């Protein structure tokens, strides 16, 4: 579900940028679809939505007294797509808040 440009396309893009050459049309259109809110791209993402691609994780990310934070990950992404701005005193509190955010995100993606 989570879109990414393939590595070959990214290499070609970087090479053209480094050599100060104009981007070819195929790469430009791929970049536009990947990085803009293009209607066709958005609708295809909704059709391909799979809740199994997402995971809620609670991690120890700071020093006490509030070291816990929830993070939501998408398959194929290293960085969380969403995380709590605040930290929590217990893992359970972070899990509870994260579960509410996770269910909201899934509801938004389904619609």
Low pLDDT (below 70) residues in the chain: 1-18, 20-47
Instruction: Give the per-residue pLDDT at 50.
Output: 86
- Report CA 54 to chain centroid distance, whole Å: 9
**pTM exceeds 0.85:** no
- Domain map of the chain by residue range? 7-47, 51-110
Instruction: Give the per-residue pLDDT at 7.
Output: 61
Structural contact between residues 86 and 46, judged by C-beta atoms closer than 8 angstroms = no
Structural contact between residues 68 and 87, judged by C-beta atoms closer than 8 angstroms = yes
pLDDT digits (tens, 9 = 90+) for 11-42: 666 666 667 666 555 555 555 545 544 444 44
Instruction: Give the per-residue pLDDT at 16.
Output: 64
Q: CB 101: neighbour CB atoms within 10 A?
A: 16
């Amino acid at each position: 579900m989570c879109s990414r440009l393939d590595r070959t396309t990214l290499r070609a893009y970087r090479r053209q940028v480094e050599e100060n050459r104009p981007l070819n049309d195929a790469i430009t259109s791929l970049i536009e679809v990947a990085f803009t809110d293009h209607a066709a791209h958005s609708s295809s993402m909704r059709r391909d939505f799979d809740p199994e691609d997402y995971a809620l994780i609670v991690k120890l990310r700071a020093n006490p007294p509030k070291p816990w934070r929830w993070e939501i990950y998408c398959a194929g992404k290293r960085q969380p797509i969403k995380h709590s701005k605040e930290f929590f005193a217990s893992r359970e509190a972070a899990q509870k808040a994260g579960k509410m955010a996770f269910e909201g995100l899934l509801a938004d993606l389904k619609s």
